Amino acid sequence: MTKIQTLSKDLRNKISAGEVVERPASVVKELMENSLDAGASEITVVVEKGGQQLIQVTDNGAGINSVDIPKAIERYSTSKIKKLDDLFTIDTFGFRGEALASVASVSELDIASCQEGKEGAEVKVQNGECSEIRPAPRVRGTQITVHNLFYNTPARRKFMKSPRTELRKIIQTIKRMALSHPEVNIILSADEKEVVNVQPESLEERIASLFDPTYQENLLSVQLQKGDYSFSGFIGNLNLVRSRPGDQYIFLNRRYIKNRLLNSAVYSGYQSLTKRGEFPFFALNLVIPPDQIDVNVHPMKIEVRFKDEWRVYHVLKSGITDSLSDVLETIPYFEKMTGDSNVKESSISTSRVGSVKQEIFPFNRRIPGPVQSSAQLERAKSYASELATRQESSSRIDVENIWQVHKKYVVSEISSGLVIIDQHVAHERILFEEAMNTFNTGAMASQALLFPESLDFSPDEYSVLLEVLPFLEKIGFRMKETEKYKVELEAIPSEMGWGNERRVIKDIIDHYLSHQKEYSSMQENLAASFACHAAVKAGDTLSKDEMQELVNRLFGTKHPYYCPHGRPIIVQLSLDELDKRFERE
């Protein structure tokens, strides 16, 4: 074995740098975090060639005292903590005194800085060596310029992707910073083109600026305080669901973090509205006391440790579920109003519609989406009252004009064109919600079987049956045990068609066992399975009365637009679209 030797300072620095500075985007992150720690309200980032040639970050923060500038690039030199205890009360992004030292060891670095009312100063750092301090312009703030990143670490340089890819990662980093700090003016220019320029604004506006303006009307604000934990931010409605992940942002005390458990808390908060492989938008900031978390576990601080991760999970999940019950009542592009002219904020009534037959449902194309901010609320109100005063009969769907096509779809006319409803999923949605309600209150009606069916079960199936029996009874099934593992089915839910009684209980049990992971509760699983079995199928002929009842009851549900698995129930075809197809323009 060769002799053990202590590594040189230069080599030590380069090894540590490898952990902190993985690629240009990590330099941008470290520099911007320093700017935010310095209280900057404006940060300008300039990059060339995906950051490999140049990264420059300029801020208007507190600046560095001129004599301290050389210290800033020394490892373990920081102004942010002094003693061990401070580690447990960290309220800054930085605390290790490592970032600038790391960047300096793998690039050529210039630092210019000036504190309020003091002289400005500037140094150049090459091969980790600091030049003399020279005077610089008296402009409050700090400018850090990084040239030739990884010029002295060829292996690292080789791992670099194309400038385009590196720029994409930089933009991603900047998006995260911009989302957690909407009050800060952030500018990015790349190869002399302005890529991002966001002015101080509210988080809602910031999301619209960073993504696109349509996001704003599809957002729901969430806010929750539970003991010393709280979180706030925005989640997207189903219009912002994508089939690939990417726009899910969780911040912890305004620091972007990656945490699969917390992401899944949000997903499961959406319950059955989204399915596996569907990713809703969210940008949420958790506020948790620093002594409940440990940020010092990952070189890039992107993973953190929680004292009680499951507590965070549950707080998050329940907050999301609560908020969603509102947002999904006001799905954009479709809006139901009751016949009277008093339009409520969330206009979908919760009454069971069976009893409110012959209501007229106007559809209109752009009532503002989820109603939350007072400005939005005002807009929604004035829009609604305008509609009410105009009494535009032309914007209503009258259930009189209704047809069935291919024994599969129900089609009805509305002023702006027509709507097409999938009869099976519509009925499924109705029955799902009714079953879920039934589990909490009362019971659904039963119809007795003229000839009770005798059913045999295996011991496993039988134990599942016993587990779910109370719920099945609430939906309207009646059965009694005749022998061990044998029951007699006496009644089935009135909603259910005749004919497949023999299979239905077994199917429900099979479905229950094989789809357990997809649902957040036993009730949801049973309700979904019952709804699927009992709903009218494609191929069933519906009378006009049945179609009218279907539409009426559909609009009595909380979420008439999406089935429990997240697929659409209603498709709208506008006159504009038809005109376009017929080249009438």
Ligand X SMILES: Nc1ncnc2c1ncn2[C@@H]1O[C@H](COP(=O)(O)OP(=O)(O)OP(=O)(O)O)[C@@H](O)[C@H]1O
Residues that bind ligand X (CB under 6 A): 30, 34-35, 38, 59, 61-64, 72, 78-80, 94-101, 142
Selection from ligand X, Mg ion, none that 95 binds (CB < 5 to 8 A by kind) is ligand X
Question: Measured between alpha carbons, how far apart are the two ends of the chain, in Å?
Answer: 84
For residue 455, the number of C-alpha atoms closer than 13 Å in the C-beta half-sphere is 25
In terms of CB distance, is 93 or 363 closer to ligand X? Answer: 93
Selection from ligand X, Mg ion, none that 190 binds (CB < 5 to 8 A by kind) is none
Selection from Mg ion, ligand X, none that 79 binds (CB < 5 to 8 A by kind) is ligand X
Shortest distance in whole angstroms from residue 64 CB to ligand X = 5
Let me know: does 455 contact 506? Beta carbons within 8 Å: yes
Which runs of E-coded beta strand occur in 383-531?
Answer: 396-397, 402-405, 409-414, 417-422, 446-456, 478-483, 486-493
In terms of CB distance, is 38 or 554 closer to ligand X? Answer: 38
Shortest distance in whole angstroms from residue 184 CB to ligand X = 13
Shortest distance in whole angstroms from residue 297 CB to ligand X = 13
108-146 burial, b at 16+ Cβ within 10 Å, e below that, comes to: bbbbbbbbeeeebbbbbbeebebeeeeebeeebbbbbbb
In terms of CB distance, is 69 or 210 closer to Mg ion? Answer: 69
> Which tokens go with 191?
């190869």
- Comparing CA positions, the residue from 247, 205, 264, 254 lying closest to residue 231 is 254
Residue nearest to ligand X (CB): 94
In terms of CB distance, is 138 or 390 closer to ligand X? Answer: 138
Helix, strand, coil content of the chain in percent (nearest 5): 40, 25, 35
Shortest distance in whole angstroms from residue 201 CB to ligand X = 23
In this structure, the strands spanning 446-456 and 486-493 are antiparallel
List, as one string, the DSSP characters of 173-232.
HHHHHHHH-TTSEEEEEETTEEEEEE-S--HHHHHHHHS-GGGGGGEEEEEEEETTEEEE
Selection from ligand X, Mg ion, none that 96 binds (CB < 5 to 8 A by kind) is ligand X
Shortest distance in whole angstroms from residue 256 CB to ligand X = 15
d(CA 156, CA 149): 10
Task: For the beta carbon of residue 445, count every other beta carbon within 10 angstroms.
Answer: 10
Helix (H) / strand (E) element for 135: namely strand 134-136
Shortest distance in whole angstroms from residue 102 CB to ligand X = 8
Distinct helix (H) and strand (E) counts, the chain: 16, 25
Shortest distance in whole angstroms from residue 288 CB to ligand X = 19
Helix axes of 423-440 and 522-534: crossing angle, nearest 10 degrees? 140
Identify the residue among 13, 34, 525, 552 touching Mg ion (CB under 5 A).
34
In terms of CB distance, is 34 or 423 closer to ligand X? Answer: 34
Which residues, 6+ apart, have CB-to-CB distance to 282 below 8 Å? 233, 234, 235, 236, 247, 248, 249, 250, 266, 320
How many residues contact Mg ion, by CB under 5 A? 3
Q: Could you give the 3-state DSSP secondary structure of residue 374?
A: helix
Identify the residue among 51, 63, 70, 94 touching Mg ion (CB under 5 A).
94
In terms of CB distance, is 17 or 496 closer to ligand X? Answer: 17
d(CA 105, CA 118): 29
CB under 5 A: which stretch of 16-24, 94-102, 531-539, 568-576 binds Mg ion?
Answer: 94-102
Selection from Mg ion, ligand X, none that 247 binds (CB < 5 to 8 A by kind) is none
In terms of CB distance, is 55 or 426 closer to Mg ion? Answer: 55
Residue type, 577: E
Identify the residue among 20, 43, 72, 99 touching Mg ion (CB under 5 A).
99
Shortest distance in whole angstroms from residue 61 CB to ligand X = 5
CB under 5 A: which stretch of 11-19, 34-42, 273-281, 362-370 binds Mg ion?
Answer: 34-42
In terms of CB distance, is 95 or 409 closer to ligand X? Answer: 95
Shortest distance in whole angstroms from residue 59 CB to Mg ion = 12
Q: Is 362 in the site for Mg ion (CB under 5 A)?
A: no
> Which tokens go with 327?
């947002």
Selection from Mg ion, ligand X, none that 38 binds (CB < 5 to 8 A by kind) is ligand X
446-467 burial, b at 16+ Cβ within 10 Å, e below that, comes to: beebeebeebebeeebbebbee
Which runs of E-coded beta strand occur in 264-364?
Answer: 282-287, 293-294, 305-306, 361-362
Shortest distance in whole angstroms from residue 99 CB to Mg ion = 4
Shortest distance in whole angstroms from residue 4 CB to ligand X = 28
d(CA 77, CA 100): 10
Selection from Mg ion, ligand X, none that 368 binds (CB < 5 to 8 A by kind) is none
Which residues, 6+ apart, have CB-to-CB distance to 467 below 8 Å? 522
In terms of CB distance, is 112 or 489 closer to ligand X? Answer: 112
Shortest distance in whole angstroms from residue 98 CB to ligand X = 4
d(CA 469, CA 474): 9
Residue nearest to Mg ion (CB): 94
- The residue whose two tokens read 């908020």 is 323
In terms of CB distance, is 12 or 580 closer to ligand X? Answer: 12
- Region 107-136 residues binding Mg ion, contact defined as CB under 5 A: none
CB under 5 A: which stretch of 90-98, 193-201, 299-307, 377-385 binds Mg ion?
Answer: 90-98
Selection from ligand X, Mg ion, none that 142 binds (CB < 5 to 8 A by kind) is ligand X
In terms of CB distance, is 57 or 387 closer to ligand X? Answer: 57
Binding residues vs Mg ion (CB under 5 A): 34, 94, 99
